[in-house]
Amino acid sequence: MAAIRLLGARAQRAISLSQRWSYLTRNVYRSASGVPDQMPPCDFQPSPYTGKSYEETLATRKEHVSPGYLTYYKNPILIHQGHMQWVFDHTGRRYLDLFGGIVTVSVGHCHPKVSARVKDQMDKLWHLTNIYMHPGIHDYAEKLASKLPGDLKVVYFTNSGGEANELAMLMARLHTGAFDIVSLRNCYHGTSPYTQGLTGMGTWKYPFANGFGVHHAMNPDVYRGLWGGSNCRDSLSQTTRSCDCSQGNCNACDMYVEQFRDTIKFSVPKGKLAAFFVEPIQGVGGGTQYPKDFLRRAFEVTRESGGVCVADEVQTGFGRLGSHFWGFEAAGVTPDIVTMAKGIGNGFPLAAVVTTPEIASTMTRSLHFNTYGGNPLACAAGSAVLDVIEEEGIQEKAGRVGRVFIEHLMSLRDEFECVGDVRGKGLMLAVELVTDKATQEPLPAADMNQIWEECKENGVLIGKGGFYGNIFRIKPPMCVTEDDVIFSTGVLRNALRNYTQSK
């Protein structure tokens, strides 16, 4: 032990990971054939499924559910029940959920404290529009605002992230008296007719008039973009591209900021920018991280141009990044408007916009109303989530388990030619797959699906994203454990190995 204490922190971490992996692969998670087939234990027993048969459910979905709804997997899973990081299908089979209902289940499926709070509220009052007063909306608004810095004190409740971003667009335009908005290419802010124009991914757009007044600046992607490399990201995992940036001086950041400034200069009436919308880390776009100082400098340019800064925390908020409660805090900035959804209610339909009193006052110029915004059940769920995050040290856990996770994923990048990049912070991680590391050519869909389907068959559910659909999105409920990490990366390693051997 004395000898180990003399080692550097990185060496100690490497020994710890190596020892843990060796022990668990020998004793717990691998069968004689090498396939990781035994999950970490779970003492929860799902109730028997009593609904439609699998075949009847597929037929109903085909006939009565919108064909625009994406269905994951060749043989879709009929999920019957959830418990913390686990979901169970109609046969009772258990899966480790590494996507959390698309980054929505923050503290765990059916977390008992959240469920109890909602059930208690359900017996008192289901619904009361916010033209009346009820304790829940006021208590929760105060509690939520206390989590934000500075003058971010006024809360507007909505039902989804897209709705929150629409409201933020309206606020920014009313407050500044300007119309033009800048967001980034590869960003995702929703698919409503209003936010579809704000979103910077053609794969999420329909051919109708949208995006009037919205301009998309170059995405400061240090992996696929024109500039950036191995010294640019706020992550344990840097790109493997060479980088000419020096300590404290990021040339890539300089170049991307100039491109951002040029977008405003050539596309926006002088001094008439309404807002800059940004995700601190891009979610649907595949976990893209910007150069470390980009957001601070882009916010400066935005304000010099008359605009307000809007942080879309729909996926990065509520402790998911581990180091900070909000993604913008990790970037060292304070926005003028913050939008949030998904993890805010652990899956309950709830979202919010938080802004300053000055900006909020613009909404008094006309009537503004949201029937379900601040619903008593939603506020009970949201308030319980904040309590659980604090009581159970969820943010600290996201940071600690996330560090273990990204280190294991980095080992996969070093082992397999098809793993081009690993990135992210806390429990917001991404693995980008390519045909080879030098060209960065995206792995074809059929090849991605082969790996993805095998992971599912071995009990691990992973999301997909990115413009090319070649990025695994790993954003689990933040109750996952280090044993879950070791199991799931073992499953992914085996799937990658089988794919490589099949080529």
pLDDT tens-digit profile of 40-57? 999 999 999 999 999 999
CA 397 to mean position of chain CA atoms? 16
Q: Residue 230 above 50 pLDDT? A: yes
Would the CATH topology of 2-103+394-502 be identical to that of 115-391?
Answer: no
φ/ψ of 120, rounded to 5, equals -60, -45
In 3-state terms the chain splits into helix, strand, coil percentages (rounded to 5) of 40, 15, 45
Q: For residue 4, what pLDDT band results from cuts at 50, 70 and 90?
A: very low
pLDDT band at 242 (very low <50, low <70, confident <90, very high): confident
Quote the pLDDT of residue 36.
55
pTM for this entry? 0.92
Q: How many CA atoms lie within 13 A of 23 on its CB side?
A: 7
- Mean pLDDT, the chain, rounded, equals 92
214 sits in which H/E element: strand 214-217
Q: What is the pLDDT of residues 338-385, one digit of tens each?
A: 999 999 999 999 999 999 999 999 999 998 889 999 999 999 999 999
* CATH code at 2-103+394-502: 3.90.1150.10
The secondary structure of 318-364, three-state, reads CCCCCCCCCHHHHCCCCCCEEEECHHHHCCCCCEEEEECHHHHHHHH
Closest CA to 172 of 356, 315, 295, 352: 356
List pLDDT tens digits, range 299-315. Answer: 999 999 999 999 999 99
Domain assignments of the chain as residue spans, ordered by start:
2-103+394-502, 115-391
On whether the CB atoms of residues 471 and 479 are closer than 8 A, the answer is no
Residue 435: pLDDT over 90: yes
DSSP element (H, E) containing 254 = helix 251-267
Residue 295 pLDDT greater than 60, yes or no:
yes
Fold of 115-391: Aspartate Aminotransferase; domain 2 (3.40.640)
